[in-house]
């Protein structure tokens, strides 16, 4: 799996198969090898890159089996792109034991040319006892182990089981991540999806994701309804499959981004639907059964791909979180699930970028509980005994200059100011997401200073710009970094036009700049040297191979496969030091992934270089 774009756990990625690449997030429409509701060409025009079919049906149907063995799976289906095959696990769950065994099942899938072959795992349901679910996890482990020899010939899917038991889901995810499986579906969730038990799905998906290898795609079996797809992707799901586009069509039901509607209750065909220019509503309702099913299936699949396109665009814009947050209001089950996501904000925080391209949308009290809200609260812990004594704070335009000069600089009190339901350290006035927010809560314009006694004739106790950059350095690079980087004899350059900090110099050399787009510090090589000497070991570092270091010293990006070691506390979009195996500083740049992800991804760019050894200007 190669990471291309990200927003927290959500990602646009790319993984390779023998029949081409798949860009995620994406869906595999379920194709019944016996029944073709939609022609492959129509599905490809909608954007279909891959599909899933059932090897059990093929194997137990003589004419299909013969053609698949002779001409291959892709010839049988009539599709030249990546194809995943299911094993018959669901049939085993519905009808009892199937007549085939695990090893034979995987061998058959590999022999007919499946791009992703699935083991015959044990299907666990939400109603299973802990003992039954535990057996499913252990037996599935045994079955993935016995097909290891086939992993060189095909991508093998190792399903994550465990029913509704978080400890079993975590164990199963770790087992499958350490196994030869290169593709990780989350199984046993269809009953939860059908019953709108989305809050429980949040627990299952996040537990599975956070205990899985980030370099392997995560697939949500059966999770192809557009109303939940955005939330699932936000939680880290990369791939879906769905037969719903056909099943709902057979029941005269149409998929919409926010839910499902009955054909008999509709009076207009949406203008975005592929059916809009072909039928009137009365014509659509009066079609013969077969033709109607095909038309509705086309609409349904188009809706799914339309929603996926929106989700991918949201990730590129880094607005998926606010999209999911606003969409959660469309259904009580989604809103309950969104509240459940907020309970995981602390666990998701290590994978949350220091800043995003988009503004932070502050809707209500729930926004304060997002990972960004939690980060602000955590930043406040870098100062003790904060008191909230604001006066005419004009958010997000910045702090009142009168406050800075008359109150802050003549006091040793640590101040904070209101930001929605949060209290923010005054030094974070310009840092993401405070100034880069759009907030619907009305911030009162006038506050009283009665709680602070200031001697108007007192000399300046501290300088706001200096305290501000020291605070940011502590937040970004660890406690003690601020005073080490910014001693009393530094020179802070302030923009005459904006009044904002631009650069910080020491002995005439620029050691850091204040980034305008996010209000955080960017280190130069001179600044990075100070941080390196302050923090020993691997802290703030990405250690690369000798060969990589030579290229990084010239300003070339760091690739995952050349990382030998890195600080596990690295968060995406923060500055990091790039060092060679002997801990010599060769560059400083922006991390594109967390420390954990850097250890697990095998392909792609991990750090983009800002300053480097051969050109430290």
Instruction: Output phi, psi for 359, to 5 deg.
Output: -65, 160
Cα distances (angstroms) measured from residue 584 to each of 16, 509, 528, 553, 559: 36, 20, 11, 11, 18
Q: Which residues pair with 218 in a beta bridge?
A: 184
Residue in 71, 80, 86, 567 annotated catalytic: 86
**Chain position carrying tokens 């991508």:** 155
Residue 86 falls in the annotated catalytic set: yes
Residue 378: half-sphere exposure toward Cβ, Cα within 13 Å: 15
Compute the distance between CA of residue 359 and CA of residue 322 in angstroms, rounded to an integer: 10
Compute the distance between CA of residue 279 and CA of residue 604 in angstroms, rounded to an integer: 47
Compute the distance between CA of residue 48 and CA of residue 81 in angstroms, rounded to an integer: 9
In the chain, % helix, strand, coil (3-state, to 5) comes to 40, 20, 40
DSSP state of 434: T
Structure tokens at 276: 């809009």
Select from 478, 375, 477 the least CA-distant residue to 428: 375
| Cα four-point dihedral sign 464, 469, 471, 472 | positive
b/e for 319-345, b at 16 or more Cβ within 10 A? bbbbbbbebbeebebbbbbbebbbebb
**Chain position carrying tokens 């480097």:** 612
Contact 306, 20 (CB under 8 A): no
| Cα four-point dihedral sign 272, 278, 279, 280 | positive
Compute the distance between CA of residue 250 and CA of residue 246 in angstroms, rounded to an integer: 6
Kindly provide the residue ranges of all beta strands, DSSP E only, lying in 426-500, ordered along the sequence.
Answer: 437-439, 491-494
- Active site positions, annotated: 86
């Amino acid at each position: 799996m190669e990471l291309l774009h990200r927003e927290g756990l959500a990602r646009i990625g790319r993984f390779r198969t023998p029949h081409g690449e798949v860009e995620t997030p994406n869906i595999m429409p379920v194709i019944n090898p016996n029944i073709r509701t939609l022609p492959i060409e129509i599905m490809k025009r909608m954007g279909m890159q891959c599909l899933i079919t059932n090897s059990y049906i093929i194997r137990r149907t003589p004419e299909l089996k013969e053609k698949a063995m002779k001409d291959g799976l892709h010839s049988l289906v009539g599709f030249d792109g990546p194809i995943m095959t299911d094993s018959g696990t669901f049939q085993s769950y519905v009808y009892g034991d199937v007549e085939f065994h695990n090893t034979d099942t995987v061998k058959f899938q590999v022999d007919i040319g499946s791009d992703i072959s699935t083991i015959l795992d044990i299907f666990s349901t939400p109603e299973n006892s802990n003992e039954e679910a535990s057996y499913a996890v252990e037996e599935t482990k045994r079955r993935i182990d016995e097909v290891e020899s086939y992993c060189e010939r095909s991508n093998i899917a190792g399903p994550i089981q465990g029913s509704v038991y978080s400890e079993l889901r975590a164990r199963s995810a770790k087992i499958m991540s350490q196994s030869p499986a290169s593709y990780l579906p989350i199984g046993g969730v269809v009953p939860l999806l059908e019953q709108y038990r989305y809050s429980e799905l949040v627990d299952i998906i996040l537990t599975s994701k956070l205990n899985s290898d980030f370099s392997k795609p995560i697939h949500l079996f059966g999770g192809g309804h557009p109303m939940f797809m955005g939330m699932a992707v936000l939680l880290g799901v990369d791939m879906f499959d769905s037969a719903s586009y056909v099943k709902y069509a057979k029941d005269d039901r149409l998929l919409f981004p926010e839910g499902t509607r009955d054909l008999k209750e509709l009076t207009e065909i949406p203008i975005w639907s592929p059916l809009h220019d072909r039928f009137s509503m009365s014509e659509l309702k009066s079609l013969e059964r077969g033709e109607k099913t095909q038309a509705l299936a086309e609409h349904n699949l188009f809706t799914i791909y339309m929603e996926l396109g929106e989700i991918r665009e949201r990730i590129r814009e880094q607005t998926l979180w606010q999209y999911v947050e606003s969409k959660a209001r469309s259904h009580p089950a989604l809103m309950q699930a969104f509240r459940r996501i907020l309970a995981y904000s602390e666990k998701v925080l290590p994978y949350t970028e220091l800043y995003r391209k988009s503004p932070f949308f502050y809707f209500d009290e729930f926004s304060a509980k997002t990972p960004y809200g939690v980060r602000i609260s955590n930043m406040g812990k870098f100062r003790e005994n904060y008191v909230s004594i604001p006066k005419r704070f004009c958010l997000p335009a910045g702090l009142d200059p009168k406050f800075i000069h008359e109150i802050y600089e003549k006091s040793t009190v640590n101040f904070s100011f209101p930001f929605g339901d949060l209290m923010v350290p005054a030094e974070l006035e310009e840092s993401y997401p405070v100034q880069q927010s759009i907030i619907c809560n009305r911030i009162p314009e006038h506050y009283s200073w009665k709680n602070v006694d200031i001697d108007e004739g007192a000399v300046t106790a501290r300088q706001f710009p200096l305290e501000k950059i020291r605070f940011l350095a502590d937040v970004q690079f660890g406690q003690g970094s601020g005073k080490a980087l910014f001693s009393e004899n530094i020179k802070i350059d302030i923009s005459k036009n904006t009044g904002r900090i631009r650069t910080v110099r020491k002995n005439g050399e620029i050691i850091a700049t204040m980034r305008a787009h996010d209000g955080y510090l960017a280190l130069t090589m001179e600044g990075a040297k100070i941080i390196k000497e302050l923090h020993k070991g691997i802290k703030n570092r990405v250690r690369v191979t000798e060969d990589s270091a030579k290229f990084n010293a010239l300003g070339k990006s760091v690739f995952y496969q050349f990382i030998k070691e890195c600080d596990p506390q690295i968060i995406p979009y923060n500055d990091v030091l790039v060092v060679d195996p002997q801990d010599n500083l060769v560059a400083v740049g922006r991390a594109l992934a967390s420390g954990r992800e850097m250890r697990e991804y095998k392909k792609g760019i991990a750090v983009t270089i800002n300053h480097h050894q051969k050109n430290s200007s």
